[in-house]
Amino acid sequence: MAEGKRKALSSSFLCSPIPKDPSQVFYVGYSSSLQTPPQTKNSSTDSFLMDSATKSSSFSTEYVRQLQERVRELEKERKQARQVEEIESVRKNKRQRLEIESIAVSKSEELKREVEALRIQLETNSQRHQIELKERDIQLDKLRRQLKFAVTEEEETLKELKTATNEHSAEKLQLEKRVVELEAQLDLVEGSLNEWKEKALEASSQLRTVTRQSAMKSEDNILESKIRLLKSQLKEKIAHLRKMNTELVEILETYGKDLDDQEANELSAKRVALLESSLKQSQELIKGMESTQKTMATPAAVKKYEARIERLEIALSDAKQENGKLSKHLEKAEMELAILEKRLGRGEFNVETTKIVHLAVNPTHEMLKSKAKSSDVERLQQENEALRARLDKLMGGVDAEAPDIAASEDKFTTTTSYETVEGLKKLNQRLKQLFGDQIRQYREAVFLLTGYKVDLKKSNGMELLRLRSVYAEHDDDELLVRMEANGSLELLESEFCSQINQRVFAYLTTCRSFPAFLSTLTLHLFEKQTFQGN
């Protein structure tokens, strides 16, 4: 059966027409993927042909040759077809390449244009850069020259600073010595002030006792002199009345002898009436003189002497006020010394770690300031000594003038007290006291109404207003306001100003109103206090 099938296949295969399409030949192939299968098929066909040739003798070798030639032709056609396909693919590739090349050419032209533009820009930029570089070189040369000049100046300034620091250190040592001396002097002054206060208290007590004793002695002397005068006057009047009585009696006796009884009775009655009236008048005069003698030590005289004592006490209070002024001067001197110490502390610096380029603080200026402050301290000390001498004179003058005052105020003197030098001094003292009382009353009213104690003081030739609030937390909290010549006010810096809220300062900085600023500050301080009304 298998052999029959093979025969049938071979016969049909042999008798079938040769296909023109090379894809129908399954055993013929030139591709790389089909090289091995055609070999097996050729081998099978060769074996089949051999079998067929051996079995059938009808086939000839010529036909085989024809078949081989046909196969070769088919292979050639296949190669040609492949070549045509390759040519077409090459043409397509060429077209694509041409299109790509045309696009690339257009792009290359655009790129060339851009490159030209960029080259032109680069050339212009390079020229600009060259010009800028030249200008920078010129500027660098200038800067180098300036740096050299600055370095030389800095070296000179450093040399000057070194010399200035050396001078400043020497001046600082001198100032420290001066401060130590001033502190020692202040200690001495404070000790002397304390001693003087004790002496003033003792002197005031002694002065009171002495004034009272002198007043009592002067009063006793005045009373004795008045009593003597009254006694002499009484004696004279009594003698005069006695003489008048004797004369009248003699006259009555002479009249009684000459006249009749009736006329004598009438005349005697009249004369008796006259004598009685004169006696009554004399008795009244005697009683008045006795009453004046008894009433010499009346409350009016006591009041006068008390008024004198009060005046002496007023003089003593004036001396105490001058003592307070002296203590205030000392406090000011201490404050100025503290300011000087602060300034000396601010001027300290280390030369090795600190480099000063610009001269911010002039040592000579600070030295002049310190000298001015020391001169102010010396001036205050001189004023203090002068005031002490004046106070001692006043104390001595009060002791010496006590009897003179008593004598000048005697009611028997004809001249008024204000016509003499002592009277003018008294008037001046009374006016001072009156003005001082009015000023104190005015300041107290301002303090009660506004809540600020206002003090006027001078510092370095400037008038300063010192304001202290009643609601301040500390006694040292104060505002310093400078009064200009045109009447404008300027708030100066202080420790208390740094503690105030900026909202409160807005009324002064933006609105420029001192009353609004002070009122808001008062409210701000009042809210801080734990105040409770009754």
Report the distance separating Cα 211 and Cα 157, nearest Å: 72
Predicted TM-score (pTM) of this structure:
0.25
Residue 12's pLDDT is: 42
Residue 265's pLDDT is: 61
Residue 175 identity (one-letter amino acid): L
- pLDDT tens digits in sequence order for the chain, 534 residues long: 444 444 444 444 444 444 444 444 444 444 444 344 444 444 555 555 555 555 554 556 787 888 888 899 999 998 999 899 889 888 888 888 888 888 888 888 888 888 888 889 888 888 888 898 888 888 888 888 877 787 777 788 778 777 777 776 677 777 777 767 776 666 776 666 667 667 666 666 666 776 776 767 777 677 777 777 777 777 777 777 677 667 666 665 655 555 455 555 666 666 667 666 766 776 676 676 666 655 554 556 556 666 777 777 777 777 777 777 777 777 777 777 777 666 656 654 444 554 555 455 566 666 666 667 777 777 777 877 777 777 777 666 544 444 444 444 444 344 444 456 677 777 778 888 888 888 888 888 888 888 898 888 877 777 788 899 988 888 888 888 888 878 788 888 888 888 888 888 888 888 888 899 999 999 988 888 755 443
How many C-beta atoms surround the C-beta of residue 248 within 10 A?
16
Q: Which residues of 251-280 are buried (b: 16+ CB within 10 A; e: fewer)?
A: ebeeeeeeeeeeebeeebeebeeebeeeee
Residue 61's pLDDT is: 77
For β-strands 462-469 and 489-491, DSSP reports them as unpaired
| Measured torsion, CA atoms of residues 115, 120, 121, 126, in degrees rounded to the nearest 10 | 120
Residue 160's pLDDT is: 78
Cβ–Cβ under 8 Å, residues 215 and 309: yes
Phi and psi at 481, nearest 5°, equal -120, 130
Q: 418: which DSSP letter? A: G
Residue 532's pLDDT is: 44
Which candidate, 160, 339, 205, 97, places its Cα nearest to that of 331? 339
Cβ–Cβ under 8 Å, residues 162 and 351: yes
Domains defined for the chain, CATH in brackets:
2-120 (no CATH), 451-534 (3.30.457.60)
Report the distance separating Cα 340 and Cα 235, nearest Å: 80
Report the distance separating Cα 206 and Cα 209, nearest Å: 5
